[in-house]
Amino acid sequence: MIVYSLRNILQRYAEQTVLDIDRLDIESGHIHALLGANGAGKTTLLEILAFLSSPVQGKILFQGQQVETSNLQRLREKVVLVDQHPVMFSCSVAENVGYGLRIRKTGKKTREKEIEKALELVDLGRYKKKNAKELSGGEKQRLALARALALSPDVLLCDEPTANVDLANSRSIEALLKRICAELQTTIVFTSHDRMQPATLTDRHIILEKGRITTTRYQNSFRYRLQQKETGETVCRLENTSLELHREALTADSLTRARGRISINPEKVVLRREKAKRDTGEIGRGVVLAIMTEQNKVCLILDIGVPLSVLLPQEVYQQLKPAVGERLYISLALDACSFEGENAEGDSPKRRR
Protein backbone atom coordinates (compact mmCIF):
# COMPACT_ATOMS: atom_id res chain seq x y z
CA MET A 1 0.00 0.00 0.00
CA ILE A 2 1.20 3.50 -0.86
CA VAL A 3 0.95 5.82 2.15
CA TYR A 4 2.16 8.99 0.37
CA SER A 5 1.78 9.84 -3.28
CA LEU A 6 3.25 13.19 -4.35
CA ARG A 7 2.92 14.71 -7.82
CA ASN A 8 4.49 17.87 -9.25
CA ILE A 9 5.47 19.26 -5.85
CA LEU A 10 7.06 22.70 -5.85
CA GLN A 11 8.12 24.65 -2.77
CA ARG A 12 9.64 28.13 -2.80
CA TYR A 13 10.95 30.49 -0.14
CA ALA A 14 11.50 34.13 -1.11
CA GLU A 15 11.35 33.29 -4.83
CA GLN A 16 13.96 30.53 -4.40
CA THR A 17 12.89 27.01 -5.37
CA VAL A 18 13.93 24.64 -2.57
CA LEU A 19 11.93 21.57 -3.64
CA ASP A 20 10.97 20.39 -7.12
CA ILE A 21 9.62 16.81 -7.15
CA ASP A 22 7.81 15.39 -10.17
CA ARG A 23 6.77 12.12 -8.54
CA LEU A 24 7.32 10.36 -5.20
CA ASP A 25 5.55 7.30 -3.77
CA ILE A 26 6.27 6.04 -0.26
CA GLU A 27 5.17 2.53 0.65
CA SER A 28 3.59 1.89 4.04
CA GLY A 29 5.01 -0.43 6.68
CA HIS A 30 8.65 0.15 5.76
CA ILE A 31 11.63 2.30 6.79
CA HIS A 32 12.64 4.88 4.19
CA ALA A 33 15.90 6.86 4.27
CA LEU A 34 15.69 10.45 3.03
CA LEU A 35 19.25 11.31 2.02
CA GLY A 36 21.09 14.37 0.83
CA ALA A 37 23.60 17.01 1.78
CA ASN A 38 22.76 19.93 4.04
CA GLY A 39 20.47 22.25 2.10
CA ALA A 40 19.23 19.51 -0.25
CA GLY A 41 15.62 19.98 0.90
CA LYS A 42 15.25 17.07 3.34
CA THR A 43 13.71 19.03 6.22
CA THR A 44 11.42 20.93 3.83
CA LEU A 45 10.11 17.62 2.46
CA LEU A 46 9.63 16.25 5.99
CA GLU A 47 7.53 19.29 6.93
CA ILE A 48 5.35 18.73 3.87
CA LEU A 49 4.96 15.03 4.75
CA ALA A 50 3.99 16.05 8.31
CA PHE A 51 1.36 18.47 6.91
CA LEU A 52 3.08 21.33 8.71
CA SER A 53 3.87 23.13 5.47
CA SER A 54 1.97 23.25 2.20
CA PRO A 55 3.76 23.33 -1.17
CA VAL A 56 3.05 26.24 -3.50
CA GLN A 57 2.16 23.74 -6.19
CA GLY A 58 1.34 20.04 -6.50
CA LYS A 59 -0.94 17.26 -5.34
CA ILE A 60 -0.53 15.01 -2.27
CA LEU A 61 -2.45 11.82 -1.53
CA PHE A 62 -2.20 10.31 1.95
CA GLN A 63 -3.49 6.76 2.32
CA GLY A 64 -5.31 7.29 -0.96
CA GLN A 65 -7.04 10.49 0.16
CA GLN A 66 -6.21 13.88 -1.31
CA VAL A 67 -4.78 16.29 1.23
CA GLU A 68 -6.90 19.44 1.47
CA THR A 69 -7.45 22.24 3.96
CA SER A 70 -10.69 20.60 5.12
CA ASN A 71 -9.01 17.35 6.27
CA LEU A 72 -5.61 18.69 7.27
CA GLN A 73 -6.17 18.60 11.03
CA ARG A 74 -7.43 15.01 10.97
CA LEU A 75 -4.51 13.84 8.84
CA ARG A 76 -2.01 15.55 11.15
CA GLU A 77 -3.11 13.17 13.91
CA LYS A 78 -1.86 10.23 11.84
CA VAL A 79 1.68 11.59 11.41
CA VAL A 80 4.25 12.66 14.00
CA LEU A 81 7.51 14.49 13.31
CA VAL A 82 10.44 14.06 15.74
CA ASP A 83 12.75 17.04 15.46
CA GLN A 84 16.53 16.80 15.35
CA HIS A 85 16.68 18.86 18.56
CA PRO A 86 13.58 17.75 20.52
CA VAL A 87 12.38 20.08 23.27
CA MET A 88 12.12 18.49 26.71
CA PHE A 89 9.56 19.97 29.10
CA SER A 90 10.63 20.72 32.70
CA CYS A 91 8.69 17.82 34.18
CA SER A 92 8.99 14.07 34.56
CA VAL A 93 9.74 11.65 31.75
CA ALA A 94 6.22 10.20 32.06
CA GLU A 95 4.61 13.64 31.87
CA ASN A 96 6.64 14.42 28.75
CA VAL A 97 5.39 11.26 27.07
CA GLY A 98 1.80 12.06 28.03
CA TYR A 99 1.87 15.66 26.81
CA GLY A 100 0.39 14.97 23.37
CA LEU A 101 -2.24 12.67 24.84
CA ARG A 102 -3.39 15.42 27.20
CA ILE A 103 -3.64 17.84 24.28
CA ARG A 104 -5.88 15.31 22.53
CA LYS A 105 -7.96 15.01 25.72
CA THR A 106 -7.24 11.29 26.14
CA GLY A 107 -8.71 9.85 29.35
CA LYS A 108 -6.40 9.36 32.35
CA LYS A 109 -6.49 5.54 32.40
CA THR A 110 -5.84 5.26 28.67
CA ARG A 111 -3.15 7.92 28.92
CA GLU A 112 -1.31 6.05 31.69
CA LYS A 113 -1.50 2.81 29.72
CA GLU A 114 -0.08 4.41 26.58
CA ILE A 115 2.70 6.10 28.57
CA GLU A 116 3.77 2.79 30.13
CA LYS A 117 3.69 1.04 26.77
CA ALA A 118 5.76 3.73 25.02
CA LEU A 119 8.36 3.90 27.81
CA GLU A 120 8.69 0.12 27.81
CA LEU A 121 9.29 0.11 24.07
CA VAL A 122 12.15 2.64 24.27
CA ASP A 123 13.57 1.11 27.48
CA LEU A 124 13.03 4.19 29.66
CA GLY A 125 10.49 2.75 32.09
CA ARG A 126 12.87 3.01 35.03
CA TYR A 127 13.25 6.75 34.44
CA LYS A 128 9.56 7.66 34.27
CA LYS A 129 9.69 9.81 37.43
CA LYS A 130 13.00 11.47 36.57
CA ASN A 131 13.10 15.04 35.28
CA ALA A 132 13.44 14.84 31.51
CA LYS A 133 16.08 17.56 31.36
CA GLU A 134 18.42 15.36 33.42
CA LEU A 135 18.58 12.66 30.75
CA SER A 136 21.57 12.14 28.46
CA GLY A 137 21.44 13.11 24.79
CA GLY A 138 20.66 9.57 23.66
CA GLU A 139 18.00 9.13 26.35
CA LYS A 140 16.34 12.41 25.31
CA GLN A 141 16.18 11.21 21.72
CA ARG A 142 14.54 7.96 22.84
CA LEU A 143 12.14 9.96 25.01
CA ALA A 144 11.18 12.05 21.98
CA LEU A 145 10.43 8.81 20.12
CA ALA A 146 8.32 7.57 23.07
CA ARG A 147 6.37 10.85 23.10
CA ALA A 148 5.63 10.35 19.40
CA LEU A 149 4.75 6.66 19.73
CA ALA A 150 2.28 7.32 22.55
CA LEU A 151 0.09 8.99 19.91
CA SER A 152 -0.02 5.74 17.87
CA PRO A 153 0.91 7.40 14.55
CA ASP A 154 0.63 5.62 11.22
CA VAL A 155 3.77 7.45 10.08
CA LEU A 156 6.83 8.45 12.12
CA LEU A 157 9.07 11.14 10.61
CA CYS A 158 12.54 11.57 12.14
CA ASP A 159 14.87 14.46 11.30
CA GLU A 160 18.47 13.25 11.77
CA PRO A 161 17.58 10.93 14.70
CA THR A 162 21.21 10.00 15.47
CA ALA A 163 22.96 13.27 14.62
CA ASN A 164 23.61 14.40 18.20
CA VAL A 165 24.36 11.14 20.00
CA ASP A 166 27.41 8.92 20.43
CA LEU A 167 27.97 5.68 18.54
CA ALA A 168 26.46 3.41 21.20
CA ASN A 169 23.25 5.48 21.39
CA SER A 170 23.16 5.74 17.60
CA ARG A 171 23.13 1.94 17.32
CA SER A 172 20.46 1.76 20.04
CA ILE A 173 18.21 4.23 18.19
CA GLU A 174 18.70 2.38 14.89
CA ALA A 175 17.68 -0.89 16.56
CA LEU A 176 14.68 0.88 18.10
CA LEU A 177 13.50 2.21 14.72
CA LYS A 178 13.69 -1.30 13.29
CA ARG A 179 11.67 -2.64 16.22
CA ILE A 180 9.03 0.09 15.89
CA CYS A 181 8.57 -0.70 12.20
CA ALA A 182 8.49 -4.47 12.71
CA GLU A 183 6.26 -4.62 15.81
CA LEU A 184 3.92 -1.69 15.22
CA GLN A 185 3.94 -1.70 11.40
CA THR A 186 4.67 2.02 11.57
CA THR A 187 5.93 3.63 8.38
CA ILE A 188 9.19 5.47 9.16
CA VAL A 189 10.90 8.16 7.10
CA PHE A 190 14.18 9.44 8.52
CA THR A 191 16.67 11.96 7.19
CA SER A 192 20.43 11.56 7.15
CA HIS A 193 23.44 13.14 5.46
CA ASP A 194 25.55 10.09 6.45
CA ARG A 195 25.88 7.86 3.39
CA MET A 196 26.81 4.80 5.45
CA GLN A 197 24.07 4.81 8.11
CA PRO A 198 21.05 3.98 5.93
CA ALA A 199 22.53 0.66 4.82
CA THR A 200 22.14 -0.64 8.38
CA LEU A 201 18.45 0.29 8.46
CA THR A 202 16.90 -0.01 5.01
CA ASP A 203 17.47 -0.42 1.30
CA ARG A 204 14.67 2.05 0.49
CA HIS A 205 16.28 5.39 -0.29
CA ILE A 206 14.93 8.76 -1.35
CA ILE A 207 17.88 10.88 -2.46
CA LEU A 208 17.60 14.64 -2.77
CA GLU A 209 20.08 16.87 -4.54
CA LYS A 210 19.32 20.59 -4.67
CA GLY A 211 15.64 19.90 -4.09
CA ARG A 212 15.30 17.26 -6.78
CA ILE A 213 15.15 13.48 -6.48
CA THR A 214 18.23 11.85 -7.95
CA THR A 215 19.09 8.24 -8.70
CA THR A 216 22.08 7.43 -6.53
CA ARG A 217 23.08 8.36 -3.03
CA TYR A 218 26.77 7.73 -3.69
CA GLN A 219 27.96 11.15 -4.77
CA ASN A 220 31.73 11.65 -4.59
CA SER A 221 32.34 15.39 -4.54
CA PHE A 222 35.66 16.90 -3.45
CA ARG A 223 37.42 20.24 -3.57
CA TYR A 224 40.58 20.23 -5.67
CA ARG A 225 43.60 22.42 -6.24
CA LEU A 226 46.03 22.34 -9.17
CA GLN A 227 49.69 22.01 -8.18
CA GLN A 228 52.88 21.99 -10.20
CA LYS A 229 55.40 19.34 -9.16
CA GLU A 230 59.18 19.76 -9.28
CA THR A 231 59.19 17.84 -12.56
CA GLY A 232 57.00 20.56 -14.05
CA GLU A 233 53.97 18.28 -14.27
CA THR A 234 50.61 19.78 -13.30
CA VAL A 235 48.52 17.52 -11.06
CA CYS A 236 45.09 17.85 -9.50
CA ARG A 237 45.33 17.37 -5.73
CA LEU A 238 42.12 16.39 -3.91
CA GLU A 239 41.94 18.41 -0.69
CA ASN A 240 42.09 16.48 2.61
CA THR A 241 43.26 13.37 0.77
CA SER A 242 46.54 11.85 -0.42
CA LEU A 243 45.18 11.38 -3.95
CA GLU A 244 46.22 13.25 -7.06
CA LEU A 245 45.04 13.10 -10.66
CA HIS A 246 47.59 13.37 -13.45
CA ARG A 247 47.26 15.33 -16.67
CA GLU A 248 45.56 12.57 -18.69
CA ALA A 249 42.58 12.63 -16.28
CA LEU A 250 42.14 16.41 -16.55
CA THR A 251 40.17 18.41 -19.08
CA ALA A 252 41.53 21.41 -20.94
CA ASP A 253 39.14 23.67 -19.01
CA SER A 254 40.12 22.26 -15.61
CA LEU A 255 43.76 23.08 -16.33
CA THR A 256 42.86 26.78 -16.66
CA ARG A 257 41.37 27.01 -13.14
CA ALA A 258 43.55 26.76 -10.06
CA ARG A 259 40.85 25.34 -7.80
CA GLY A 260 37.27 24.09 -7.80
CA ARG A 261 35.23 20.96 -7.19
CA ILE A 262 35.53 17.53 -8.75
CA SER A 263 32.84 14.82 -8.89
CA ILE A 264 33.91 11.18 -9.29
CA ASN A 265 31.40 8.67 -10.66
CA PRO A 266 31.40 5.75 -8.17
CA GLU A 267 30.75 3.28 -11.01
CA LYS A 268 33.89 4.43 -12.86
CA VAL A 269 36.35 3.57 -10.08
CA VAL A 270 38.59 0.51 -10.44
CA LEU A 271 40.13 -1.24 -7.43
CA ARG A 272 43.23 -3.47 -7.40
CA ARG A 273 45.35 -5.26 -4.84
CA GLU A 274 48.57 -4.80 -6.79
CA LYS A 275 49.98 -1.58 -8.16
CA ALA A 276 49.36 -1.30 -11.88
CA LYS A 277 52.44 -2.03 -14.04
CA ARG A 278 51.47 0.60 -16.59
CA ASP A 279 49.55 3.87 -16.67
CA THR A 280 45.91 3.02 -15.87
CA GLY A 281 44.65 6.21 -14.25
CA GLU A 282 45.90 5.15 -10.83
CA ILE A 283 45.52 7.97 -8.30
CA GLY A 284 46.53 6.40 -4.97
CA ARG A 285 45.35 3.99 -2.30
CA GLY A 286 42.49 3.77 0.20
CA VAL A 287 41.42 1.58 3.11
CA VAL A 288 38.09 -0.26 2.96
CA LEU A 289 35.83 1.05 5.74
CA ALA A 290 32.55 -0.68 4.90
CA ILE A 291 30.96 -3.05 2.39
CA MET A 292 27.22 -3.10 1.68
CA THR A 293 24.81 -4.39 -0.94
CA GLU A 294 23.15 -1.78 -3.16
CA GLN A 295 20.49 -3.48 -5.33
CA ASN A 296 22.48 -5.50 -7.93
CA LYS A 297 25.80 -3.90 -7.03
CA VAL A 298 28.13 -3.82 -4.03
CA CYS A 299 29.16 -0.50 -2.48
CA LEU A 300 32.54 -0.10 -0.84
CA ILE A 301 33.38 2.95 1.27
CA LEU A 302 37.11 3.68 1.17
CA ASP A 303 39.03 5.99 3.49
CA ILE A 304 41.19 8.32 1.40
CA GLY A 305 41.28 10.98 4.11
CA VAL A 306 37.57 11.45 3.43
CA PRO A 307 35.05 8.73 2.41
CA LEU A 308 35.10 7.62 -1.24
CA SER A 309 32.18 5.52 -2.53
CA VAL A 310 32.79 2.80 -5.11
CA LEU A 311 30.04 0.76 -6.80
CA LEU A 312 31.13 -2.62 -8.13
CA PRO A 313 29.11 -5.11 -10.20
CA GLN A 314 28.52 -8.34 -8.26
CA GLU A 315 30.84 -10.34 -10.55
CA VAL A 316 33.70 -7.85 -10.10
CA TYR A 317 33.21 -7.89 -6.33
CA GLN A 318 33.28 -11.71 -6.28
CA GLN A 319 36.54 -11.73 -8.21
CA LEU A 320 38.22 -9.17 -5.95
CA LYS A 321 36.60 -10.23 -2.63
CA PRO A 322 37.95 -7.23 -0.68
CA ALA A 323 37.87 -7.17 3.12
CA VAL A 324 37.21 -4.36 5.57
CA GLY A 325 40.55 -2.90 6.62
CA GLU A 326 42.28 -3.87 3.38
CA ARG A 327 44.30 -1.21 1.51
CA LEU A 328 43.58 -1.14 -2.23
CA TYR A 329 44.92 0.76 -5.21
CA ILE A 330 42.45 3.16 -6.84
CA SER A 331 42.23 3.91 -10.55
CA LEU A 332 39.76 6.05 -12.49
CA ALA A 333 38.29 5.54 -15.95
CA LEU A 334 38.92 8.39 -18.37
CA ASP A 335 35.29 9.54 -18.09
CA ALA A 336 35.06 9.17 -14.30
CA CYS A 337 35.43 12.85 -13.42
CA SER A 338 33.56 16.08 -13.98
CA PHE A 339 34.82 19.46 -12.82
CA GLU A 340 33.29 22.65 -11.47
CA GLY A 341 35.96 25.29 -11.68
CA GLU A 342 36.15 28.64 -9.92
CA ASN A 343 38.50 31.45 -10.73
CA ALA A 344 40.27 33.81 -8.36
CA GLU A 345 37.56 36.44 -8.74
CA GLY A 346 34.96 34.02 -7.39
CA ASP A 347 32.92 33.55 -10.60
CA SER A 348 29.99 31.17 -10.34
CA PRO A 349 31.27 27.64 -10.97
CA LYS A 350 30.60 26.05 -14.34
CA ARG A 351 30.47 22.28 -14.82
CA ARG A 352 33.07 20.85 -17.14
CA ARG A 353 33.53 17.33 -18.50
Query: What pLDDT band is residue 347 in, cutting at 50, 70 and 90?
Result: very low
What pLDDT score does 278 carry? 64
What are the pLDDT digits (tens) for 234-276? 788 888 887 888 766 565 555 666 788 888 899 999 999 988 7
What are the pLDDT digits (tens) for 198-219? 667 787 888 787 888 875 556 6
What pLDDT score does 344 carry? 40
Tell me which of 37-41, 275-279, 302-306, 340-344 is least confident. 340-344
What are the pLDDT digits (tens) for 333-343? 888 888 776 54
Mean pLDDT of 224-242: 82
Helices (H), 12-154: 42-49, 72-76, 93-103, 108-121, 137-149
Residue 92: pLDDT above 70? yes
Residue 346: pLDDT above 60? no
What pLDDT score does 342 carry? 55
**When comparing pLDDT for 148 and 225, which is higher?**
148
Query: What pLDDT band is residue 2 in, cutting at 50, 70 and 90?
Result: very high
Residue 48: pLDDT above 90? yes
Mean pLDDT of 278-290: 79
Mean pLDDT of 73-82: 95
Q: Report the number of secondary-structure helices (H) and strands (E) in the chain.
A: 7, 21
Q: With the C-alpha atoms ordered 164, 166, 170, 172, is the resulting torsion angle positive or negative?
A: negative
Q: What is the DSSP string of 228-266?
A: E-TTS-EEEEETTSS-EE-GGGS-TTGGG-SEEEEEE-G
What are the pLDDT digits (tens) for 97-127? 999 999 999 999 999 999 999 999 999 999 9
In the chain the domains, ranked by start, together with CATH numbers, are 2-214 (3.40.50.300), 220-341 (2.40.50.100)
Tell me which of 63-77, 130-144, 235-249 is least confident. 235-249
Mean pLDDT of 78-91: 93
What pLDDT score does 262 carry? 84
Q: Could you tell me what percent of the chain has a pLDDT over 70? A: 88
**When comparing pLDDT for 39 and 98, which is higher?**
98
**Considering the entire predicted model, what is its pTM?**
0.67
Pairing of strands 31-35, 205-209: parallel
Mean pLDDT of 280-294: 80
Residue 40: pLDDT above 50? yes
What pLDDT score does 108 carry? 94
Residue 54: pLDDT above 50? yes
Residue 348: pLDDT above 50? no
Question: Is the CB of residue 24 less than 8 Å from the CB of residue 206?
Answer: yes
CA distance to 41, 85, 146, 294, per residue, from 201 (Å): 21, 21, 19, 13
Q: Which residues contact 231 (CB under 8 A, 6 or more apart)?
A: none
Q: Could you tell me what percent of the chain has a pLDDT over 90? A: 50
Residue 181: pLDDT above 50? yes
Q: Which residues contact 268 (CB under 8 A, 6 or more apart)?
A: 332, 333, 335, 336
What DSSP element (H or E) covers 325?
A: none
